[in-house]
Homo-oligomer: A and B are copies of this chain.
Amino acid sequence: MSKAADTRMMILQKSFELIYRKGYQSTSIDEIIATTQVTKGAFYYHFKTKDDMGLSLITEVLYPGMYNVMIKPLEEGKNPAKDIYNVMENLLNDFVFFNPDYGCPAINLIEEMSPMNPVFKKALSKLVKQWQNAIVAALNKGKEAHIFTGTFVPEEVAMVVISGYGGVRNIGKALGKSSYKTYLKGLKTYLNKL
């Protein structure tokens, strides 16, 4: 990676951390250049506007990050119910960068930016759809393998699961990490009944 590309990625990474904790609109360019030690001229050399940077952040940091944790395990696993639970537990408990107080960066951006900027909305909805599709695909694979005892519509289960994740990230901001524990138990029971 060239030095310029390094600088660009460094700005994106640090901005990601700042925006994760403070929100997109409340994170100023001045604050970003202060913590990155990059001058304003450098920032605006790499990004046309703040929104250009925000969008790059979604596609270049959020997309790759989510794939490894939320999609890949579902593609590779054999037991969908178990795999979905493990992905969720991994996300909620083991991801040390994520703090219950600050929730999930992707969920935060959806909350804040989807209503404000249609370009953000589109990029973020793509993110959601990818996870949704991965869950549906995993459930269908399990159905074909006759793993499940009951009948269900994969799309509906996927929606309950991803909604549960987004919601518990929200509730966790108010009630703390204990919400995660209770939710995970409830999720396990739910998945076992499929």
Q: How many copies does the complex hold?
A: 2
| A124 to B, closest residue via Cβ | B174
Most buried by B among A103, A115, A152, A185: A115
Q: Which of A3-11, A64-72, A78-86, A164-172 contacts B (4 or more CB under 8 A)?
A: A164-172
Q: Given the complex of chains A and B, what is the CA–CA distance between A116 and B116 in angstroms?
A: 20
Q: Is the CB of B173 within 8 A of A168?
A: no
Q: Given the complex of chains A and B, what is the CA–CA distance between A186 and B26 in angstroms?
A: 36
Residues of B within 8 A of A90 (CB): none
Q: How many residues of A contact B (CB 8 A)?
A: 51
Report the minimal beta-carbon distance from A156 to chain B, rounded to whole angstroms. Answer: 4
Q: Given the complex of chains A and B, what is the CA–CA distance between A21 and B164 in angstroms?
A: 23
Q: Given the complex of chains A and B, what is the CA–CA distance between A129 and B26 in angstroms?
A: 28
Q: Which residues of A in the span 104-129 have a Cβ within 8 Å of any Cβ on B?
A: 107-108, 110-112, 114-116, 121, 124-125, 127-129
A102 within 8 A of B: yes
Q: Is the CB of A182 within 8 A of B167?
A: no
A89 within 8 A of B: no
A146 within 8 A of B: no
